[in-house]
Amino acid sequence: MAINLNEYSLLIKDQIKKYANKIISDQKGYIITIGDGIVRVSGLDDVLLNELVEFENGAYGIALNLEPNSVGVVMLSDYYDLKEGSSVKRTGKVIQAPVGDGLLGRVIDPIGLPIDGKGELKNISGYASIERLAYGVMQRKSVHQPLETGILAIDSMLPIGKGQRELIIGDRQTGKTTIALDTIINQKGKNVNCIYVAIGQKNSSVAQITRLLEETGAMAYTTIVSATASELAALSYIAPFAGVTIGEEWMRQGKDVLIVYDDLSKHAVAYRALSLLLRRPPGREAYPGDIFYLHSRLLERAGKLSDELGAGSITALPIIETQAGDISAYIPTNVISITDGQLFTTTSLFNSGQRPAIHVGLSVSRVGSAAQLKSIKQVSGSLKLELAQYRELDTFSQFSSDLDAETKVVLEHGARVMEMFKQPQAKPIDQTSEAVLLFGIKNRFIKWIPTDHIIKFKEFILDKIKQDQVYKKIEEKKAFDDEIEKELTAFFKDVVKKYTSTLVDYNGSLYGDLKELE
């Protein structure tokens, strides 16, 4: 068969025309050692810090340690079918998290995969790197709007503002998560998107929290990012960063965001495990030297943006678990120094039935008072001091039965106030009702009620006040004036009379001069 050279010539010319001079660079390496979720890789000389690398079985990892002859990679998924000599390649991307309104009402893992059985994510506006610099000083604005928690003890004495970082700290089983969840539940109808980051928790606990938020209708504006205890330490390490990345997208759109990190103690432990396995030098309590920077760069991403940038905000509620009430340990002191205040919960208060078990003396809100509603500020100014006096006298009264009349008044009033601050889970109180209750406390109307009836009396007030015209006036003005105070005084005298009339064998003269109620 004769060869037609012209045909070959045309074919070659056609191929030259179609030839695109594209150079595809692909750097591959191989595994030197593997184990405990850590892979040491050789051959990836140009890999970036925190870059995603892909293994031959489709698993991914993050390059965390860049050394002269090898790269330390932490695994993000199962690695059991990998072995020494297996190939690994660069992706050229750093780890990213999905962002957008499609995440509301969903439960995802730290790499953005849905784990709630509701199918794929929809309405995702894109993906963003989980590591980014926090906004600078000039791009921020001071905290000036209140974030309503619906918890009377917090909103009155330890107010939180939008853009604040308020630490919730205490021993295990003292109601820390409950405070955070109640705050999320109270954001219903307030245009605040919420993110709950579960770090190192049991699967059953995350399922229980999801169920509670669904039952209260809070899941509609909440995203849960879950890295459970059964998963690799690397997922616990990146979970809070994925959570705040989701929140930052909403903040840039001018929205208000509330994010809960539950908890950063487990986050620190996960990072310590990774650092020790990567052979980084250990420091105090075997934590690596950059453990402070880990939490500071995370929490600094919360804040209130300036009006020019849309005035959005991220309010952070990190949770820290202490051991036997020791708030002077390494991680607690680190996070206390980073945040704008702390709510300290104690086992003794919790076991005595005081829930939420907030120790007012050790708790503080450094910037929230600037954001407090005027109506609440007017009636809660002396409350913290009164409770401090009560606690001091209560301690001494245990050693002496002979008390003067003045001391008895302080002790009885303090006991009633503590009863007023008791609040069941998932039952938030709106700020107008809080202001009314605090007015009753300040003006000593609760002195007429026996201590064991205070909780029922509180419910009685909350039921009656919403039917009264003065409620709408306080809601509109957000402050007390002479007219409102006059109407509220008449309201309280009326509810005290009505409530005490239902009590068997009640003798009002034991509590004060009955003429005061006329």
Residues belonging to the active site: 366
The amino acid occupying position 210 is T
Q: What is the DSSP letter of 76?
A: S
Question: Quick one: how far is CA 286 from the chain centroid?
Answer: 26
Q: Is 174 annotated as a binding residue?
A: yes
- The structure tokens listed for 34 are 């593997």
- For residue 305, what are the β-bridge partners? 140
132 annotated among ligand-binding-site residues: no
Residue 196 half-sphere exposure toward CB, CA atoms < 13 A? 30
45 in a known ligand binding site = no
Exposure b/e, 433-458, CB count within 10 A at least 16 = b: bbbbbbbbbbeebbebbeeebbeebb
173 is in an annotated binding site: yes
Among candidate residues 320, 302, 391, 384, the one with its CA nearest the CA of residue 352: 391
Distance between CA atoms of residues 446 and 440, nearest Å:
6
Contact between residue 319 and residue 177 where contact means Cβ atoms under 8 Å apart? yes
Output helix, strand, coil percentages for the chain, rounded to the nearest 5.
45, 20, 35
What is the per-residue DSSP string for 101-138?
Answer: GGGTT-EE-TTS-B-SSS-S--S--EEEES--PPP-GG
State how far the Cα of 119 lies from the Cα of 105, in Å rounded to an integer: 12
Determine if residue 170 is labeled as part of a ligand binding site.
yes
Q: Can you say whether the dihedral through the CA atoms of 158, 201, 288, 283 is positive or negative?
A: positive
Cβ proximity of 131 and 241 under 8 Å: yes
340 is in an annotated binding site: no
Annotated binding site: 170-177
Annotated binding site for ATP: 170-177
